[in-house]
Amino acid sequence: MTKILVVDDDPNVQRLLRVTLKQEGFEVVVAGDGAEGLRLWESEAPALILLDVTLTKMDGYQVATTIREGESAGTHVPIIMLTAEKEVEQKVKGLRAGADDYLVKPFHQAELLARMKSLLARFASSEGGPAGKPPLGKLLAFYGAKGGVGTTTLAINAAIALHKEHGRRGLRNRPPPGAGQS
């Protein structure tokens, strides 16, 4: 059974998440503050963490940062921040602290479950053990101010050259019909 760590100081949110996640077949461990959340992360080895931002003893940003600093090589536990903080700056702060996703309260249970299942699938190891770190790569993007032919030609030629040189696949995102036309 997949273990989920819920770190939230609101008993109503704890209860809602516990019931929802158990109905979906997850094992649920609950922490009421940031320090307890860190302790349970170390002792319980959850597959995913649902983390509130406004916690006592240690806020969610500090918890996420501490987890990321404490992860051993080759491990990565997905973190979804669940919080009432809806400003872009707060979302960016959470993602920079180490969260993999960010969901603003109130949220729909179906959306939370879809995000959880997506992260669990993305970070699961093939052996069924602890999740691995996400693969890191490089992104090369070409953006034309006018969407002209030159940008497309440059992107295609660069993709062909990278493929020939490094054997890597390239992906080209086609503009919508009519884009770049005056």
The b-or-e profile of 48-86 (16+ CB within 10 A means b, else e) is bbbbbbebeebbbbbbbbbbeeebeeeebbbbbbbbebe
Stated as kind and residue range, the H or E segment containing 82 is strand 79-83
The answer to whether 14 and 56 are in contact (CB under 8 A) is no
Which amino acid makes up residue 76?
A: H
Domains of the chain: 3-123 (3.40.50.2300), 137-182 (no CATH)
The answer to whether 132 and 74 are in contact (CB under 8 A) is yes
pTM flag (> 0.95):
no
- From first to last of its 182 residues, the chain has per-residue pLDDT tens of 899 999 999 999 999 999 999 999 999 999 999 999 999 999 999 999 999 999 988 999 999 999 999 988 778 999 999 988 889 999 999 999 999 999 999 899 999 999 999 999 888 754 444 455 555 556 666 555 666 666 667 677 777 777 676 665 555 555 555 555 55
131 Cβ contact list (under 8 Å, min separation 6): 47, 75, 76, 77, 78, 120, 123, 124, 125
Map tokens 């990565």 to a residue: 76
| SS3 label, residue 45 | coil
